[in-house]
């Protein structure tokens, strides 16, 4: 999956207890606009979490290692 295939990211005010959601079928990610008031690291983690849902739509046994690998890759890229 290339950068051009990454889902369109849309900001939308959602329920106060929901930070974001991903529809893997339509490749649509929505983020709560309240995240803009949080530390950048929080926003980046939530966005990464939703992007991983494009690869694995549910929180199953495959999701956790994908998320862990993505977090490691993100930290590695941040140091470059």
The residues spanned by each domain of the chain are 3-79
pLDDT band at 78 (very low <50, low <70, confident <90, very high): low
CATH code of domain 3-79 = 3.30.2010.10
DSSP secondary structure letters along the chain:
--GGGSPEEEE----TT--EEEETTTTEEEE-GGGGGS-HHHHHHHHHHHHHHHH-SSSSTTHHHHHHHHHHHHHHHHH-
The pTM (predicted TM-score) of the whole model is 0.70
Tens digits of residue pLDDT in 31-73:
988 888 888 888 888 999 999 999 999 999 999 999 999 888 7
């Amino acid at each position: 999956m290339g950068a051009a295939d990454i889902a369109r990211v849309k900001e939308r005010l959602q329920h106060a207890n929901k930070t974001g959601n991903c529809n893997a079928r339509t490749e649509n990610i929505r983020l709560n606009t309240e995240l803009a008031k949080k530390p950048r690291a929080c926003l980046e983690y939530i966005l990464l979490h939703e992007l991983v849902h494009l690869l694995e739509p549910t929180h199953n046994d495959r999701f956790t290692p994908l998320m862990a690998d993505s977090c490691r890759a993100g930290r590695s890229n941040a140091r470059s």
